[in-house]
Amino acid sequence: MRRPARAAVPAPELQPVVLGGDIGAYSVARAFHEAYGVRSVVVSTVATGLVRHSRILTNVVEPRIDDADAAVARLRAIAAEHPGKRLLLLGSADWLVRTIVENRDRLEDLYVVPYVDRATLDLVTDKESFGRLCAELGLAHPTTVVHDVGAGGVPDTSGLRFPVIAKTGNTAAYHLVDFPGKKKVFTVDSPAELAELLERVRASGYTDTFVIQDFIPGDDSGMRILTCYCDAAGRMRFAAFGHVLLEEHTPGALGNPAGIITQAGREVVEQARRLLEHIGWRGYANFDLKYDPRDGRTVFFELNPRLGRSNFYITAAGRNTTELYVRERIQGLDPLPPGADEQLVTEHLYTVLPRPLLLRYVADDALRARTRRLFRTGRATNPLWYAAERDPRRIAYLVAAQLNQFRKYRRHYPPPPRRPAGPRVGG
């Protein structure tokens, strides 16, 4: 079983505050607790099952977290409750990071804000400018069309082959609307289906951009994840690459990794370094990528300006994500402890699913064998199961939620057919 490690340098004055109540927020709170023994304050719109009854965090419910003024007022009130503490503020979703960045001038007198400036945030979250950056620096990127939903009409997709992928170009604005069939990511089979989708999106009140991209063939196991940390001088100091086994398939969580094996990915890491150091990035960057079997390249989809929802795959594999933040931003030290590796290469399995369910969906024989071996040797971690959490109400919730995963996958994603082991590919 994995043993949590304390940080090399204690930080008794530390008080983390995390916006968001999803598994990403809980995972960050757990990492802080493992490293420093501290209870994070987690601010969410509702008390979700992930944070309710937790003994490692304090949950503050702010129903108006979507409203910047309300969010700032709540954060200032929380700061007033922790006098003498060094407050570190994090967001667990893109739109929450944007709220923090756009209100930095109202927060930085109380909080350490470990994010880039607004101009840099806009550069990487705008799909057109990110695509241009990739092209300029020689990183593979899918053919992309960006459509202005508010302007109406249909995009020119003559340069694409259907089916295509369609997704929001502004996650913060998309978060605020609702419509029948809303998903994080859509697979669209024809121009007519795309036109109908865009009209539904426009009718919901969303007036920003939608991104239509080339569909890279292959199932979930073609996906890759890369998380990098850049120091205050803009130098990339740490990277963790992972092979995604399976993604979540419920509409609201579609595309989020549900199983990851940490592994080496030196070529992709160097490509990411080229991009991040070119734009002077600071803090964490999380990349979504996919291996393209047609040409053997690993394609960069997007950059998330934060620790990703599945961030615990890094802590589980041996490098506590929060220690880099605390060492550099709170303690004024080098972000990595002396002698620490700058890239994780040790195999470790991260999963949010029960073992039999994950194995049912890993279609590749070689990947299934790797997964079984990691389970068998105790090198597997579910971030929600933490020995410090002993409240029976929380345990009951987790048991029910894990069993419910079988129902959700059966409904939304029938198991794929088995296939023989393919070529071993990485980054």
The set of residues, in sequence order, having a beta carbon less than 8 Å from that of 271 and lying 6+ positions away, is 137, 138, 139, 300
Mapped onto helix, strand or coil, the DSSP state of residue 89 is strand
Are the C-beta atoms of 197 and 188 separated by less than 8 Å? yes
User: What residues does each domain of the chain span?
Assistant: 14-116, 143-214, 220-412
The set of residues, in sequence order, having a beta carbon less than 8 Å from that of 233 and lying 6+ positions away, is none
* Distances in whole angstroms, Cα of residue 18 to Cα of each of 116, 124, 388: 17, 22, 19
Mapped onto helix, strand or coil, the DSSP state of residue 6 is coil
Residue 39 CB neighbours (<10 A): 16
Identify the residue with better confidence: 52 or 2: 52
pLDDT, tens digit (0-9, with 9 covering 90-100), for 83-119:
999 999 999 999 999 999 999 999 999 999 999 999 9
Among 30-44, 62-76, 219-233, 410-424, the minimum mean pLDDT is found in: 410-424
User: Phi and psi dihedrals of 266, rounded to 5?
Assistant: -65, -40
Give exposure, 149-172, as e/b (b: 16+ Cβ within 10 Å): beeeeebebeebeebbbbbbbbbb
Amino acid found at 281: W
The set of residues, in sequence order, having a beta carbon less than 8 Å from that of 422 and lying 6+ positions away, is 364, 366
Q: Report angle CA 121, 124, 130 to the nearest 5 degrees.
A: 160
Mapped onto helix, strand or coil, the DSSP state of residue 197 is helix
Mean pLDDT score of the chain: 94
CATH fold of the domain at 14-116: Rossmann fold (3.40.50)
Q: Average the pLDDT over 12-28 and give the result.
A: 96
Are the C-beta atoms of 272 and 261 separated by less than 8 Å? no
Q: Average the pLDDT over 11-31 and give the result.
A: 96
Instruction: Give 104-169 as a DSSP string.
Output: GGGTTTTEE--S--HHHHHHHHSHHHHHHHHHHHT-----EEEEEGGG-S----TTS-SSEEEEES
Q: What is the pLDDT of residue 113?
A: 98
Q: Is the pTM of this model over 0.75?
A: yes
Are the C-beta atoms of 321 and 334 separated by less than 8 Å? no
The yes/no answer on whether domain 220-412 falls in CATH 3.30.360.10 is no
The yes/no answer on whether domain 143-214 falls in CATH 1.10.12 is no
Residue 71 belongs to what H/E stretch? helix 68-80
pLDDT, tens digit (0-9, with 9 covering 90-100), for 141-160:
998 899 999 998 889 998 89
User: Phi and psi dihedrals of 274, rounded to 5?
Assistant: -60, -45
Alpha carbons within 13 A on the beta-carbon side of 192: 0
Are the C-beta atoms of 23 and 309 separated by less than 8 Å? yes
Identify the residue with better confidence: 421 or 258: 258
Mapped onto helix, strand or coil, the DSSP state of residue 200 is helix
User: Phi and psi dihedrals of 384, rounded to 5?
Assistant: -80, -20
Count, in order, helices (H) and strands (E) of the chain.
13, 17
* Distances in whole angstroms, Cα of residue 123 to Cα of each of 120, 128, 196: 5, 9, 29
Are the C-beta atoms of 183 and 210 separated by less than 8 Å? no
Looking at the predicted structure, is the pLDDT value of residue 277 above 90? Answer: yes
pLDDT, tens digit (0-9, with 9 covering 90-100), for 175-197:
889 999 998 889 999 999 999 99
